[in-house]
Amino acid sequence: MLKLFCPLNLDVIGIDEAQFFEDLYDFCCEAADHDGKTVIVTGLDGDYLRRSFGSVLDIIRLADSVTKLTARCELYGKRAFFTLRLRRHKQI
């Protein structure tokens, strides 16, 4: 699916919400290794149950560098390392 959106004349490719692309690993391998593109990827590495989300973790070993960001917990004001799922204002 990603290949459909990749014009050949680009030097840098940005992918947001990477966890939702099923062909992320194959696309990044081809774009970087075979086509010489710089690929910048953003996305969630885990879900609210702290399970791997999509193939974001799979592409880390392909990366030249990785920056892991955290959010701020709205309840306690501390760093948030994973997401919280709420349903009708109740924690799941």
Residues with a known catalytic role:
17
Mapped onto helix, strand or coil, the DSSP state of residue 70 is coil
Distance, CA of 77 to chain centre? 24
- The answer to whether 69 and 41 are in contact (CB under 8 A) is no
